Amino acid sequence: MANWKLIGGIAGGVIVLGAIGNAVNGDNHHTASASTSPKTASAATATPTPTSADNKPKAATAEKKAVPNFVGMGLQSAQDTAQAAGFYSLTSHDSLGRARMQILDRDWKVCSQSVKAGTVTATTTKLDFGAVKLAESCPAHDQTAPSAAGGKMPDFRGKSVKAARQALDSSTSITVNDATGASRWVLIESNWQVCTQTPTAGAKLAGQPVTLNAVKFGESCP
């Protein structure tokens, strides 16, 4: 009888342990279900980029405005006015065709503009101002730069030495002389005008050296 009690006690213990084990396993299973893999965060809502029919992004449309009248303004004032109106693509050139750089804009005044005043155009349009120094008179028309297009020697008479040099191929050998015979150095070539040249205007350019005889602007050619 004692043996049966012992067996019964062992069996009861096994049942109790099994119940405890099931309870523990049940909690573990429940815990795992509750702590499933973290949810993926939803993407932030963004304003879609406008696209064309072929799904390519559309380019931003440039604003259009009327171009102000810049003629008669100082070059610096013209540039400030243009930018205030929304035009930021600006350049300038020497209206006298001497190829001078507009280093100090306040020393120059506007004679012409590449886009007529009052024209409505995109604000991305480049505006080119033709200018002369304050003490100079504006020409009736901008002086065109000489060109060696076609392989022929341009007529450089009256043009600046700098403009002449720019018209020729960069490999050209060029000699510049003081036409007065005083042997002055031609340091700032935009301040000197050509009196005579070799080869003569119209000659075929075939890599031959070029000689320019010049005097300062304001002086008379001998």
Q: Is the predicted pLDDT of residue 213 greater than 80, yes or no?
A: yes
Percent of the chain surpassing pLDDT 90: 70
Q: Is the predicted pLDDT of residue 7 greater than 90, yes or no?
A: no
Model pLDDT, residue 39:
40
Model pLDDT, residue 37:
41
Q: What does the block give as tokens for 78? A: 């013209």
Q: Is the predicted pLDDT of residue 149 greater than 80, yes or no?
A: yes
Distance CA 187, CA 130 (A): 24
How is domain 64-133 classified at the CATH fold level? Trypsin Inhibitor V; Chain A (3.30.10)
Confidence of residue 183 (pLDDT cuts 50, 70, 90): very high
Task: Locate the domains of the chain by residue range.
Answer: 64-133, 161-216
Q: Mean pLDDT of all residues in the chain?
A: 82
Q: What does the block give as tokens for 8? A: 């019964």
Q: Is the predicted pLDDT of residue 207 greater than 50, yes or no?
A: yes
Please compute the mean of the pLDDT values over residues 149-167 and round it to a whole number. 96
* Among the listed residues 79, 191, 93, the one whose alpha carbon sits nearest the alpha carbon of residue 143: 93
* Among the listed residues 147, 142, 138, 81, the one whose alpha carbon sits nearest the alpha carbon of residue 109: 138
For 100-118, how does the pLDDT look when each residue is reduced to its tens digit (9 = 90+)? 999 999 999 999 999 999 9
Please compute the mean of the pLDDT values over residues 123-143 and round it to a whole number. 97
Model pLDDT, residue 22:
44
**Between 148 and 41, where is the model more confident?**
148
For 26-69, how does the pLDDT look when each residue is reduced to its tens digit (9 = 90+)? 444 333 333 334 443 444 444 454 554 555 555 556 799 999 99
Q: Are 71 and 118 in contact (CB under 8 A)?
A: no
Please compute the mean of the pLDDT values over residues 148-162 and round it to a whole number. 96
Q: Is the predicted pLDDT of residue 170 greater than 80, yes or no?
A: yes
Q: What is the pTM (predicted TM-score) of this model? A: 0.69
For residue 109, what are the β-bridge partners? 74, 132
Please compute the mean of the pLDDT values over residues 143-156 and round it to a whole number. 94
Percent of the chain surpassing pLDDT 70: 73
DSSP E strands in 125-169: the ranges are 127-133
Model pLDDT, residue 62:
77
**Between 95 and 8, where is the model more confident?**
95
Query: Which amino acid is present at 135?
Result: A
Confidence of residue 14 (pLDDT cuts 50, 70, 90): very low
